[in-house]
Structure 1
Amino acid sequence: MTGPVLSIIVPVKDEEDAIPICIARVRAVLDGLSDPASRSWEMLFIDDGSTDRSLAVLRDAHSADPRIKALSLSRNFGKEAALSAGIDHALGQAVVPMDVDLQDPPEVLAEMLAKWRDGFEIVYGVRTNRESDSLPKRITADFYYRAHNWLSSDKIPEHAGDFRLLDRKVVEVIRQMPERNRFMKGLFAWAGFRQSSVEYRRVPREVGTTKFNYWKLWTFAIDGITSASTVPLRVWSYLGGAVALLAFGYAIYIVVKTLLFGISVPGYASMLVAVLFLGGLQLLSLGILGEYVGRILVEAKGRPLYVVRERLGDKD
């Protein structure tokens, strides 16, 4: 069976009020495209363990319009796993992940499709403003993009999220990646291919509240860096070498001073500072090593990235 031209994949978690608004707006945009071929589309929602009526709303939407489809996961696996589920099950020649909150406007899809037809395999959206985000979030987001691109060889475009168009060739490459600790923006960057960008203004969400708090964003940032780079491990070799060199230099200084001026009363304060400093470095290095070892454990288990409990559309 020939699939649609475009697949929109939308992860949701407790978004019963936002889903109908999202469907109505995306449907109006896609059905109004000037290119008739682009009006062949599906919208695939991934219900990531919702506890409200999100799945019931999706059932009603699917009954009214078979182009609205859904996967219901057996529990909350996280946004990255939900995105992976959508990519695995999307049938379109081009696939666009987007959020249900409509902060990434679906009106940009027409420009993305135009660039795709010009030969670009990835067309990512770049936010020209982050006025809907708080000042601390804007500052930390900017710092994260810079830190990631400094540490990793797989550069991600600054202020670009998951909202992007992926050609079917890119989708098949992403589907071949077996890792469980997934940072999707890093996987998109690793895949390569010809890429272009479209700019848009990010607006505040109209319905519901974000499911990301600062702690989740912090752990997400750690996952992104550790999945894309081994520099945090390697840096401790350099730091350890520098500390050892300083200790060797200080030892020579002590020997020379003792030979010239005799033995002086030792300073307990300086000794305590040195012990605490080195102890702190060791604990920090062990923590970073533990992050990587923990990820090795998750990969070694080989468990499925997600479990589908129910499917609406195609095979239902």
Structure 2
Amino acid sequence: MTIERLTLVIAAHNEALALPLLQPRLRAVLDGLEGVEGRIVYVDDGSTDATWQVMQELASADSCVGVLRLSRNFGKEAALTAGLDFVDTGAVMILDADGQDPPELIPEFVALWRQGYDNVYGTRQVRDGESWLKRSTASAFYRVIGRLSRIPIPADTGDFRLLSPRALQALGQLRERHRFMKGLFGWVGFRRVALPYHRHARMVGDSKFGLWKLWNFALEGITSFSTVPLRAATYLGMATAGVAFLFGGWVVLKAALYGDRVAGYPTMMAVILFLGGVQLIALGLIGEYLGRLYEESKQRPLYVVDTWHAPFVADSGVHHIGGEQRDDHGTTAVGRQVP
């Protein structure tokens, strides 16, 4: 029987209470998979609690657990990218650290992968433990970006997915700084299929994503995968100019024919404020895209690694990712661009 390798990647920030509850579930699932050599990679995204100590304890107790610590908090998208970069062979399964994505469904993901699918993604049918406001805004966001983007971004779908080796390799070539992983997963293409599931509430603790972070995340996704807002600003400016021209012509014609006095201060202020608001909105949209170009032009690394302890691999203790060599003793490395 051919042995396939599957690595579970879990990025965590201040999840010291959740990881000890999640690890036994992951271990039980991997032990029950036939023909699969399972590995687990935890990524500490600059946690300020005991998350790193917990990860080290889990790695000490299980040789199949690898731990990666970033030098500071780079954000979930960068931390997830770091974990994927350190998977050298086989397929990868992405889960959240809070236990909302049930690891018990991993065998179903693997079964679809074995049928030839490269991107098996979980689609949420039910979202427990979330407020009505969060559910409704999330649903609205996925509908909006689905219409604005030419890249297929499935609705109600997060990072809970399995990527085949070739999909993982293609994803590793995308090194943009402003990363919206849900869009990048769709950009690489290949065969994909949805797996509907019931998303549970967090096992312990509170969500790290408040409404403000979710709003910024939505802006990141829209501006990363669509230029429709810029085009809409152009159309809005043209429409406003047309209405202003017609209104101005009507005012002049009315005054010339009927001798009516031109509207005074209130009308003038209303028009000025309206046009000024339209201009500021357009400038703000341009600034969002220009700011992203500015960040990309710096060519800074996506992340910086503090410590890396690889899971036990029988054939090698050295990993080559993105043209760099990383050993198992905490060598500092960076997420630089792949040549």
- The bucket for the TM-score relative to the shorter chain is over 0.9
Counterpart of 2:314 in structure 1 is none
SS in 1 for 2:40: strand
Is contact 1:50–1:76 with CA below 8 Å preserved after alignment?
Answer: yes
Counterpart of 2:213 in structure 1 is 216
Measure the CA separation in 2 of the matches of 1:210 and 1:266: 54
Greater CA deviation, 138-147 or 92-101?
A: 92-101
SS in 2 for 1:97: strand
Is contact 2:124–2:199 with CA below 8 Å preserved after alignment?
Answer: yes
Is contact 2:255–2:262 with CA below 8 Å preserved after alignment?
Answer: no
Measure the CA separation in 2 of the matches of 1:218 and 1:140: 9
Counterpart of 1:20 in structure 2 is 20
Q: What displacement does 1:4 show?
A: 6.1
Q: Deviations over 1:93-133 (max 9, x none)?
A: 11111111111100111111000000001100011112321
Give the residue type in structure 2 aligned to 1:104. D
Measure the CA separation in 2 of the matches of 1:216 and 1:4: 38
Is contact 1:148–1:155 with CA below 8 Å preserved after alignment?
Answer: no
SS in 2 for 1:111: helix
Counterpart of 1:140 in structure 2 is 137
Give the residue type in structure 1 aligned to 2:163. L
Is contact 1:10–1:100 with CA below 8 Å preserved after alignment?
Answer: yes
Q: What displacement does 1:252 show?
A: 2.2
Is contact 1:77–1:306 with CA below 8 Å preserved after alignment?
Answer: yes
Q: What displacement does 1:263 show?
A: 4.3
1:304–1:73 Cα change, 3 Å: same
1:291 equivalenced with 2:288 (yes/no): yes
Report 1:1-316 matches (<5 A). 5-33=5-33, 35=34, 37-38=35-36, 40-313=37-310, 314=317, 315-316=327-328
Measure the CA separation in 2 of the matches of 1:182 and 1:112: 25
Greater CA deviation, 114-123 or 241-250?
A: 241-250
Q: Give the TM-score taking structure 2 as reference length.
A: 0.89
Percent of matched pairs sharing the same residue = 48
Measure the CA separation in 2 of the matches of 1:280 and 1:143: 25
Is contact 1:55–1:72 with CA below 8 Å preserved after alignment?
Answer: yes
SS in 2 for 1:5: strand
Greater CA deviation, 106-115 or 277-286?
A: 277-286
Measure the CA separation in 2 of the matches of 1:98 and 1:54: 16
Give the residue type in structure 2 aligned to 1:42. R
Q: What displacement does 1:53 show?
A: 1.6
Q: Deviations over 1:242-299 (max 9, x none)?
A: 1111112112212321231024142321111111111111111111111111111110
Measure the CA separation in 2 of the matches of 1:12 and 1:266: 61
Measure the CA separation in 1 of the matches of 2:204 and 2:238: 53
Measure the CA separation in 2 of the matches of 1:263 and 1:128: 62
Q: What displacement does 1:91 show?
A: 3.0
SS in 1 for 2:153: coil
After TM superposition, the runs of 4+ consecutive aligned structure 1 residues lying more than 2 A away are none
Greater CA deviation, 217-226 or 252-261?
A: 252-261
Give the residue type in structure 1 aligned to 2:60. S
Q: What displacement does 1:221 show?
A: 0.6
- Looking at secondary structure, tell me which structure has more strand per residue: 2
SS in 2 for 1:7: strand
Q: Deviations over 1:198-219 (max 9, x none)?
A: 1111111121221111111111
Q: What displacement does 1:155 show?
A: 2.3
Measure the CA separation in 1 of the matches of 2:262 and 2:307: 75
SS in 2 for 1:305: coil
- Looking at secondary structure, tell me which structure has more helix per residue: 1
Number of residue pairs aligned between Structure 1 and Structure 2? 312
Give the residue type in structure 1 aligned to 2:17. D
Give the residue type in structure 2 aligned to 1:55. W
Measure the CA separation in 2 of the matches of 1:255 and 1:294: 42
Give the residue type in structure 2 aligned to 1:274. V
Q: What displacement does 1:235 show?
A: 1.0
Superposition CA RMSD, Å: 1.5
Measure the CA separation in 2 of the matches of 1:265 and 1:5: 78
SS in 2 for 1:70: strand
Give the residue type in structure 2 aligned to 1:75. R
